[in-house]
Amino acid sequence: MTESTTSVLIIDDSTRPYLPHLREKTPECSFFNCNQDETVEQALDRVDPEIVFGLHGGRYPAFTHAAALSHPSVKWLHNGGAGIDHLAGWNPEEILVTNSAGVSSRFMAETVLGAILMMNFGFPDYLEQQKLRVWNKLQWESLSTKTVLVIGLGGIGSLVAERLRMFGAHVIGARRSSRPCPHVDEQIAMSDVANTLPHADYVCIHVPNTDETQSIVNAEFLAQMQPSARLINTARGAQVDENALIDALRHNRIAGAYLDVFRTEPLPQDSPFWDLPGVIISPHSADAADGWKSVSASFFAANLRRYLHRETLVNICDPEAGY
């Protein structure tokens, strides 16, 4: 490694799909992988990188990446996903933290829309009938007759709203700021969510995991939903009071839920969610479309070029805000 080379440590199970692209776009950098037999801390000590690019994987789950924040050689950590709740905190004057928010938004939006269409038509019920060889037509209503409340109008929420309106759904969007979103029929403040819940057929959660959003879906929230309504959560498990949701589902206070995230992951084998009627579960994979890591790596490569040219980076995270 020459004196002018910038060292980059990649935290990932395998860099094969995207490493050639990174080397092509930034020949000024030397890239290093975590070895299979070492921890993130050991890799940091071995490489002493200036930059760390972290992608969540089986060997290196999200919480292991936080070690980069305290390593003396690291000046910039780029999180390959959107959420940064696994990073406890940092001094932005000492280290830059960026993320890939928006990169996988279209994947997440596609998953959310697929789940809503599946539940709206009643595919889970038809699958159960198929197992029993039952031929019985079930009544369903077009999505164009439904109202969807999208809580959080960032990159993901905005795309979810846009796609829902293509099917004729009436979309109400809630966000903290007053900045208008062109993809909703109505926009409300977060303080107005409680008044809107009784009118929503589907409620989608798309807010970052911060102190303010912890357990925003609680017993009171669920009690305000229609008995025929369904909850969609692909954000973070901590945003849902799971005991309250289990109780609401068991007593038919809401009709169902699509859940991609949970407070404990993997979801424990004895979790009631596995057997609750009306619940669809996926293993925190709503945005994990084939090739998502390469898409995130391309975003990082563009930011890396900015870094090398001393330009302002995109998606700089604020430790106080939590995103």
> Is the same domain home to 26 and 144?
no
> Is the same domain home to 164 and 201?
yes
pLDDT tier for residue 251 given thresholds of 50, 70 and 90: very high
User: So what's the pLDDT on residue 1?
Assistant: 39
Domain presence at residue 1 = no
pLDDT tier for residue 4 given thresholds of 50, 70 and 90: low
Domain presence at residue 299 = yes
Digit-coded pLDDT (tens) for 155-211: 999 999 999 999 999 999 999 999 999 999 999 999 999 999 999 999 999 999 988
Average pLDDT, rounded, for the chain:
95
Please state the rounded mean pLDDT for residues 239-268.
97
Task: Give the domain CATH number at 85.
Answer: 3.40.50.720
Q: What is the DSSP string of 272-287?
A: GGGG-TTEEE--S-TT
> Is the same domain home to 142 and 74?
no
> Is the same domain home to 56 and 158?
no
pLDDT of 123 strictly over 70 = yes
For residue 276, what are the contacts with CB-CB under 8 A and spacing of at least 6?
246, 249, 250
Which tokens sit at 279? 């619940």
Which tokens sit at 315? 């998606």
Q: Which range of residues forms the domain containing residue 176? A: 105-281
> Is the same domain home to 97 and 109?
no
> Is the same domain home to 63 and 182?
no
Total domains present in the chain: 2
Other residues' Cβ atoms within 10 Å of the Cβ of residue 268: 11
pLDDT of 2 strictly over 50 = no
User: So what's the pLDDT on residue 8?
Assistant: 98
> Is the same domain home to 185 and 304?
no
User: So what's the pLDDT on residue 36?
Assistant: 87
> Is the same domain home to 33 and 87?
yes
> Is the same domain home to 176 and 267?
yes
* E strands present in 183-293: 186-189, 202-205, 230-233, 256-259, 279-281
Distance CA 91, CA 208 (A): 20
For residue 179, what are the contacts with CB-CB under 8 A and spacing of at least 6?
none
Cis ω for the linkage preceding 266 (within 30 of 0) = yes
Domain presence at residue 54 = yes
Domain presence at residue 82 = yes
> Is the same domain home to 217 and 198?
yes
Domain presence at residue 322 = no
* Residues with a known catalytic role: 236, 265, 284
Distance CA 200, CA 319 (A): 33
Digit-coded pLDDT (tens) for 195-217: 999 999 999 999 999 889 999 99
Domain presence at residue 321 = no
pTM of the prediction?
Answer: 0.90
pLDDT of 321 strictly over 90 = no
> Is the same domain home to 81 and 199?
no
> Is the same domain home to 77 and 205?
no
pLDDT tier for residue 3 given thresholds of 50, 70 and 90: low
Residues 71-109 as b/e (b if ≥16 CB within 10 A, e otherwise) read beebebbbbbbbbbebbeebeeeebbbbbbbbbbbbbbb
